[in-house]
Structure 1
Amino acid sequence: MLKEFREFILRGNVIDLAIAVVIGAAFTAVVNATVKSFITPLIAAIGGQPDFSALTFKINGSTFTYGAWINAVISFLIVAAVIFFLIVKPMNAFLARRKTEDVTPEPEAPAEDVRLLTEIRDLLAERRG
Structure 2
Amino acid sequence: MIKGFKEFIMRGNVVDLAVAVVIGAAFGAVVTSLVDNIINPLIAAIFGKPDLSGILLWTLNDGGTPGDPADDAVLAIGTFLTAILNFLIIAAAIYFAIVLPLNKLAERKAKDEPAPDEAVSPTEIEILTEIRDAIKAQSDR
TM range (shorter): 0.7 to 0.9
Offset of residue 2 of structure 1: 4.1
Larger displacement relative to structure 2 (20-29 or 101-110): 101-110
**What's the TM-score once normalised by structure 1's chain length?**
0.74
Report the equivalent of 1:127.
none
TM alignment of 1:92-111, pairs within 5 A: 92-104=103-115, 105=118, 106-109=121-124, 110-111=127-128
Count of matched residue positions in the alignment of Structure 1 and Structure 2 = 122
Larger displacement relative to structure 2 (90-99 or 51-60): 51-60
**What's the TM-score once normalised by structure 2's chain length?**
0.69
Offset of residue 116 of structure 1: 5.2
In structure 2, stretches of 5+ residues that fail to align are 63-72
Contact kept? 1:53, 1:65, Cα under 8 Å:
yes
In structure 1, stretches of 5+ residues that fail to align are 123-129
Deviations 1:41-82 (A, max 9, x none): 102212333222234334563323232222222222122112
What is the root-mean-square deviation in Å for CA atoms of aligned residues?
Answer: 2.8
Question: CA 1:95 to 1:57, structure 2 compared with 1: closer, same or farther past 3 Å?
Answer: same
Larger displacement relative to structure 2 (67-76 or 49-58): 49-58
Structure 2 residue 11 is the aligned partner of structure 1 residue 3? no
Question: Identity across aligned pairs (percent)?
Answer: 43
